[in-house]
């Protein structure tokens, strides 16, 4: 496969356009400020998996609610995307929560804890 195949270009286009559409067109307060982190399009360009995160989705319940709201609005978002796009076929859209920030925060916390424990042990040995 070429490094910049059609599905990658379409995914990038969809990611950019959906970010603008969600920001400008969605009026649901449960959505808030959403970041679209990634988009993956199937080889036949019929399906698009969109990976999102939001600062307001700080609990698992809020994440689930965000994804539910976005998936319910997927038809509307697909219609808006089709209107603004030059694609012959607009893919079906499925939203998924991208917990990369949550995992990154947990990893950062573990590293900070390990560094603090190492410092404490080093200070005890120095005395």
Euclidean distance between CA atoms 95 and 69, whole angstroms: 10
Of 81, 85, 108, residue with least CA distance to 19? 81
Instruction: Grade residue 4 by pLDDT with cuts at 50, 70 and 90.
Output: low
In angstroms, the CA 17 to CA 90 distance is 12
Q: What is the pLDDT of residues 75-118, one digit of tens each?
A: 999 999 999 877 888 999 999 998 876 677 778 888 888 888 88
What pLDDT, on the 0 to 100 scale, is given for residue 52?
Answer: 95
pLDDT of residue 1: 46
Residues 57-94: b if buried by 16+ CB within 10 A, e if exposed: beeeeebeebbebbeebbeebbebbeeeeeeeebbebe
**Going by CATH, does the domain composed of 6-98 fall within 3.40.50.720?**
no
Task: Write the pLDDT tens digit of every residue in 35-78.
Answer: 999 999 999 999 999 999 988 888 889 999 999 999 999 999 99
Find out whether 19 and 93 touch, Cβ atoms under 8 Å: no
């Amino acid at each position: 496969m070429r490094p910049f195949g059609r599905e990658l270009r379409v995914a990038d286009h969809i990611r950019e356009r959906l970010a603008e559409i969600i920001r400008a067109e969605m009026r649901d307060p449960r959505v808030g400020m959403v970041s679209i982190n990634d988009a993956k399009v199937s080889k036949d360009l019929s399906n698009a998996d969109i990976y999102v995160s939001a600062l307001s989705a700080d609990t698992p319940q809020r994440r689930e609610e965000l994804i539910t709201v976005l998936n319910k609005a997927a038809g509307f978002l697909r219609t808006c995307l089709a209107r603004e796009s030059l694609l012959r076929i607009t893919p079906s859209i499925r939203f998924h929560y991208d917990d990369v920030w949550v995992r990154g925060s947990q990893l950062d916390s573990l590293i900070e804890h390990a560094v603090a424990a190492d410092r404490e042990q080093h200070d005890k040995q120095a005395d």
